[in-house]
């Protein structure tokens, strides 16, 4: 609801010659209706799985997420994983896995 800026009366929607106005029911004061601006927000939703995690040597492995995957070496079923983007961003990223048990690291091409 909108109130008249002049007399604080209640404004009502009126349409004149295709234009929309707010008209005061008390004093007849007219206000042009402001068009609601459509705000287009550009949102880049990044898939968390595509997040670039750069693995550095000696980094605490605990910060990497773990997943249920069978280690090809010791058959342990849990491994840390991270994604590394290859030189060209056009190429799919490479997923690395590191076995929690034997520390064997292997990669899977996305």
| Catalytic site positions | 90-91
The nearest distance, CB 63 to Zn ion, in angstroms, is 19
| Subset of residues 33 to 92 that bind Zn ion, contact rule: CB under 5 A | 71, 73-74, 76
91 vs 13: CA distance, rounded Å: 56
11 forms part of the interface with Zn ion (CB under 5 A):
no
Which residues share a beta bridge with 14?
21
Q: E strands, the chain, where?
A: 11-16, 19-24, 30-32, 66-68, 78-84, 94-99, 105-109
Nearer Cβ to Zn ion (30/85): 30
Q: Give the burial class of 36: count Cβ atoms within 10 A of its Cβ; 0-12 exposed, 13-18 middle, 19 or more buried.
A: exposed
The nearest distance, CB 2 to Zn ion, in angstroms, is 11
Nearer Cβ to Zn ion (10/53): 10
Nearer Cβ to Zn ion (26/85): 26
């Amino acid at each position: 609801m909108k109130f008249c800026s002049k007399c604080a009366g209640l404004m009502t929607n009126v349409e004149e010659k295709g234009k929309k106005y707010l008209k005061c029911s008390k004093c007849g004061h007219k206000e042009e209706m402001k068009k609601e601006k459509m705000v287009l927000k550009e949102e880049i939703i990044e898939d968390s799985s595509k997040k670039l995690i750069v693995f550095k040597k000696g980094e605490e492995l605990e910060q990497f997420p773990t997943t249920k995957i069978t280690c090809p070496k010791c058959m342990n079923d849990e491994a840390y994983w991270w994604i590394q983007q290859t030189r060209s961003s056009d190429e799919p990223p490479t997923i690395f896995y590191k076995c929690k048990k034997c520390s064997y690291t292997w990669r899977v091409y996305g």
